[in-house]
A and B are shown apart, each in its own frame.
Chain A
Amino acid sequence: MEPLVRRLGRSTAASSILLAVVFALSLAYTSTGGGARQYLVAEMLTNFILALGMQVFIGNTGVLSFGHMAFAQIASYATALVVIPVAAKATSLPDIPFGLGEVEVGPVTATLVALAVTIAIGAAFGVAVCRASGLAPTMITLAALFVVDQVVKNWEELTRGAGGLTGVPILGGNGVLWLGAFIALVVAHQFQESRIGRFAAATRDDELAAPALGISLFTSRYAAWMVSIGLIALGGALRAQSLGTVNPKQFTLDAGILVLAMVVVGGMRTVSGTVLGTIVITVGNEVFRQLGDPQRLGIERFPDLFLGGVMLAVMLARPGGILGDLDVAAVLRRRMRWRADSSPDRAGSTTADEAVLSADGVIVRFGGFTALDGARIAVRPGEVVGLIGPNGAGKTTLFNVITGLVEETDGRVQLGDVDLSDASPVAVARAGLGRTFQNLRLFANLSVRDNVAVTAMVAARHRPQRPTPDPDELLEAVGLADRADRRADALDYGSQRRLELARAAALAPLYLLLDEPTSGMSDAESLEMVTAVRSIAQRVGAGVLVIDHDLGFITTISDHIVVLNEGRVLAEGTPDAVRADPAVAAAYLGSRG
């Protein structure tokens, strides 16, 4: 992995460029109008912090949250409650609990208190959000928004209810907000550049493939959540001190959707996109608000027209946001290409691991249907084993049992002495099994190189006993080196299959499990695949278990073939022996003839 200092330097550089552009724009804006124009700049700066906070979670993990405003609200109220002068509190909040009536701190301390309180609550809450899957996290955050809203509105001794708190000492000038926006930019960039940020992006693109390559959904999401809540808290604390007032109207679902629009309109996957989105939405919202003013059209919610129109247009025309993948940080990354030098430990020999991969007596029942009925298979180090059988024989189910995606009703899966029978997909991958999928599951929004690099990061972290493969060498080996900077989903089908192979190999696995690597390929491409699989497996020193329907491919590549039929092993042996077996011919080959 690239050294921290270099990444931090790049984050700072990218942040400085973006902020310089924003600064130039706001200077042009404020210098041509009255002092009131500073207020819009202040609003935009707090929006930057809030939107970047949201982007860190939503943009990187792809999990929609409605609850972020609840945490901005907690931070704003926490700030206000400790920073409002004691004398003012005595009259406005006579029954204030927790002895807060005696507390009066400066703006810096207040901001730190707000961060601490919000992060503590967010930490507990994040566990629930990040453990759930599907729509549940979104619903949990929505519930959180309403809970906080209701508590704030009804706990009047502490919050003065719907009226809110006033008299928060106001920060002089926008200097602190610029600093806050800069911090938010650096943090958001740095998260994206970090290992865990890359992992989060992988889980966003494929919730199933990421764990199968050793990336924990929970850990990466939770990290994104915590960083995100930190930024949101900063935004909330600064906004309270910029406006001087705090009230529930600032944190409604609508307010949250406005910030969400900032994230998605510009392009939620990148920081640059969020910056553009924040400018577009903040300015557009203000323009429409002024048009809808009582003196003009008199339509209070006129900005909804703008918001709805922009969101609809972007979703229909460019669902990835206006900028899509255009990103200042990504440009800098390409310009300053970093390559690890071949240090001795990387060149270290691929130790001859004697761990045999075996599955025994595997039974899987889906309801009344028995998919596997005592299937067994064994692969020795360096060996290539082909797994064939008619459709529905249970080949993919056996793969899924071995890799922990399907729970077996009975049976054992072992890697050497390690029992993998009940291991999760993440644990199986980290133990050394790298797999591909029958219906391609690439990280579509990542570059070709990043698909491989992110897996190599897993290897570096969780498989230190093996040398970490070099992503560029693997891409070279499958013939994709010249297209490394493209998006993965921009590749042709055959290349996507080869990329998936390289990605699995980047895990430095003991065994590669390939599910129909030549599916949909021409004969010539299948032959290329034989070379690719062999060279890749040799390079990382892995044994191979491969499912395929292309008999030419499977007999050329395999040392040993296992034939599965109706969930049981029908025959096994050398390719020639299997080909000669009359039972195989009847069950499988005959049916093709």
Chain B
Amino acid sequence: MTKLVQTLVDGLGVGSTYALLALGISLIFGVMHLVNFAHGELITVGAYVSYFFFLNGGSWWWMPVAIIASAALASVATEAVAFRWVRQASPFTMLLTSFAIERLSHALWQIFVSPKQRAFPKPAWVFDQFGLGGVSIEVMDVVTIGVTAATLAVTALVFSRTLFGISVRGAAEDFDAARLMGIRANRVISGAFAFAGLLAGVAACLILMRNPSAEPAMGADWLLKAVVAAVIGGLGSFTGAVVGGLALGLLETLTRAYLPDIATGWDRFSTAIVYIAIAAFFIIRPQGAFKVASAERV
């Protein structure tokens, strides 16, 4: 029982980070049908920003603001520099463009900073634990889940109550119709990138508090998981991204924790089994868990 609770808390912790990233990917896909493989680089941006600030006497009290702001700025910048110019191109071209940016980001951090990992201090309380009904829980787990829940609540509010949020949802459903209603394409798309950047910034804070270091290719693994989560949920679906992220996090931690009990000797294949499960899911439900109505006319 203790183990189960512990595993679930871990799973939700990892999963909520995936969810925040997946939400950004899904949001951008919604407005311009781009699967943004450069999205993970926003974490890297946040990491290097923290590293530079800590070199000059930074503090975790205000670092999250710097991380989130830099991620949002970087996100908007990639749109203005690259994605805006391929907006009319095929999804394939856009996806490869995002790949190119990801590669360039890896290379530039290596050239201008260092190929090696750069560490900076972590918040003092991160690995503190407290007991709750016989289960010992890390402070960081609570922070992760709490911050994610709050962020998601704000996101839900933005997309249901603000003009910006409604414009973005409208654009996601039918971009041409949204434009006819007087919504400005550039502004909606920039806004979506900014918001996706904010979400990635929050995710970056959670990741960096646990593992305070910067490395050129650190975003790649997170990105892949987040893309998988977003597609599992159904690209373009906000609920789907959250559910997909949490499901992926839980699936990972549960297989790692319980597979050895079920089949001895198979624990070394736990990651492989997670991916087999994912492949099986896509075979059964190619459109993801939450199907998104597309406005394509015949």
Contact of B269 among A136, A154, A208, A310 (CB under 8 A): A154
Query: How far is the CB of A308 from the nearest CB of chain B, in Å?
Result: 3
Stretch in contact with the other chain, from A44-52, A99-107, A297-305, A373-381? A297-305
A174 within 8 A of B: no
Query: How far is the CB of B90 from the nearest CB of chain A, in Å?
Result: 7
Q: Do the beta carbons of A132 and B106 come within 8 Å of each other?
A: no
Query: How far is the CB of B237 from the nearest CB of chain A, in Å?
Result: 13
Query: How far is the CB of A546 from the nearest CB of chain B, in Å?
Result: 16
Chain A residues near B279 (CB, 8 Å)? 128, 139-140, 143-144, 147
Of chain A, the residue at the smallest CB distance from B94 is A315
* Interface-centre pick from A139, A147, A300 (highest chain B CB count, 10 A): A139
Q: Do the beta carbons of B82 and A139 come within 8 Å of each other?
A: no
A64 within 8 A of B: yes
* Interface-centre pick from A132, A143, A208 (highest chain B CB count, 10 A): A143
Stretch in contact with the other chain, from B2-10, B97-105, B199-207? B97-105
Interface string of A110-134 (1 = CB under 8 A from B): 0000000000000000001001111
CA A428 – CA B282 in complex, angstroms?
Answer: 28
B130 within 8 A of A: no
Name B69-117 residues within 8 Å CB distance of A. Answer: 82, 85-86, 89-90, 92-93, 95-97, 99-108, 110-111, 115
CA A297 – CA B279 in complex, angstroms?
Answer: 41
Q: Do the beta carbons of A319 and B228 come within 8 Å of each other?
A: no
Q: Do the beta carbons of A312 and B101 come within 8 Å of each other?
A: yes
CA A264 – CA B99 in complex, angstroms?
Answer: 12
CA A264 – CA B92 in complex, angstroms?
Answer: 10
Query: How far is the CB of B242 from the nearest CB of chain A, in Å?
Result: 18
Contact of B271 among A133, A139, A146, A304 (CB under 8 A): A146
B272 within 8 A of A: yes
Q: Do the beta carbons of A208 and B298 come within 8 Å of each other?
A: yes
A520 within 8 A of B: no
Q: Contacts A150-B269, A299-B111, A319-B89 hold; do A143 and B275 have CB atoms under 8 A apart?
A: yes
Contact of B100 among A208, A303, A315 (CB under 8 A): A315
B132 within 8 A of A: no
Query: How far is the CB of B189 from the nearest CB of chain A, in Å?
Result: 17
Q: Do the beta carbons of B269 and A264 come within 8 Å of each other?
A: no
Q: Contacts A299-B110, A300-B115, A302-B107 hold; do A150 and B283 have CB atoms under 8 A apart?
A: no
CA A431 – CA B261 in complex, angstroms?
Answer: 56
Q: Do the beta carbons of B96 and A143 come within 8 Å of each other?
A: no
B278 within 8 A of A: yes
A25 within 8 A of B: no
B276 within 8 A of A: yes
Contact of A154 among B89, B108, B272, B276 (CB under 8 A): B272
Query: How far is the CB of A69 from the nearest CB of chain B, in Å?
Result: 15
Of chain B, the residue at the smallest CB distance from A307 is B103
Of chain A, the residue at the smallest CB distance from B104 is A308
B196 within 8 A of A: no
Contact of B297 among A146, A316, A439 (CB under 8 A): A439
Query: How far is the CB of B100 from the nearest CB of chain A, in Å?
Result: 4
Q: Do the beta carbons of A319 and B93 come within 8 Å of each other?
A: yes
Q: Contacts A151-B272, A315-B100, A319-B86 hold; do A405 and B106 have CB atoms under 8 A apart?
A: no
Q: Do the beta carbons of B110 and A302 come within 8 Å of each other?
A: yes
Query: How far is the CB of A366 from the nearest CB of chain B, in Å?
Result: 10
Name A34-91 residues within 8 Å CB distance of B. Answer: 62, 64
Query: How far is the CB of A186 from the nearest CB of chain B, in Å?
Result: 27
Chain A residues near B278 (CB, 8 Å)? 139, 143
CA A316 – CA B87 in complex, angstroms?
Answer: 10
B217 within 8 A of A: yes
CA A329 – CA B287 in complex, angstroms?
Answer: 37
The interface residues of chain A, by DSSP majority, are classed as: helix
Chain A residues near B115 (CB, 8 Å)? 298-301
B28 within 8 A of A: no
Q: Do the beta carbons of B283 and A132 come within 8 Å of each other?
A: yes
Chain A residues near B93 (CB, 8 Å)? 315, 319
Interface string of A392-421 (1 = CB under 8 A from B): 000010001000010000000000000000
Q: Do the beta carbons of A154 and B107 come within 8 Å of each other?
A: no
B178 within 8 A of A: no
B123 within 8 A of A: no
A311 within 8 A of B: yes
Name B151-179 residues within 8 Å CB distance of A. Answer: none
Q: Do the beta carbons of B104 and A309 come within 8 Å of each other?
A: yes
CA A400 – CA B296 in complex, angstroms?
Answer: 14
Name B185-239 residues within 8 Å CB distance of A. Answer: 216-217, 224, 227-228, 231, 235
Q: Do the beta carbons of A135 and B35 come within 8 Å of each other?
A: yes
Q: Do the beta carbons of B107 and A139 come within 8 Å of each other?
A: no
Contact of B298 among A151, A303, A405 (CB under 8 A): A405
Q: Do the beta carbons of B111 and A305 come within 8 Å of each other?
A: yes
A477 within 8 A of B: no
Contact of A311 among B100, B276, B287 (CB under 8 A): B100
Q: Do the beta carbons of B272 and A304 come within 8 Å of each other?
A: no
Q: Do the beta carbons of B86 and A316 come within 8 Å of each other?
A: yes
Chain A residues near B216 (CB, 8 Å)? 301
Interface string of A426-465 (1 = CB under 8 A from B): 0000000000011100000000000000000000000000
25 contacts between A and B (CB under 8 A): A128-B283, A131-B283, A132-B282, A134-B287, A135-B231, A136-B231, A146-B271, A146-B275, A147-B276, A150-B269, A260-B96, A300-B115, A301-B106, A301-B115, A304-B104, A304-B110, A305-B108, A308-B106, A311-B97, A315-B86, A315-B96, A316-B97, A319-B89, A438-B298, A439-B298
15 more contacts with CB within 8 A, not counting A128-B279, A301-B106, are A131-B286, A143-B228, A143-B275, A146-B275, A147-B272, A150-B269, A253-B224, A298-B115, A301-B115, A304-B104, A305-B104, A307-B103, A315-B93, A319-B90, A319-B93
List the 5 closest A-B pairs by CB distance, nearest first: A308-B103, A308-B104, A136-B286, A305-B107, A311-B100
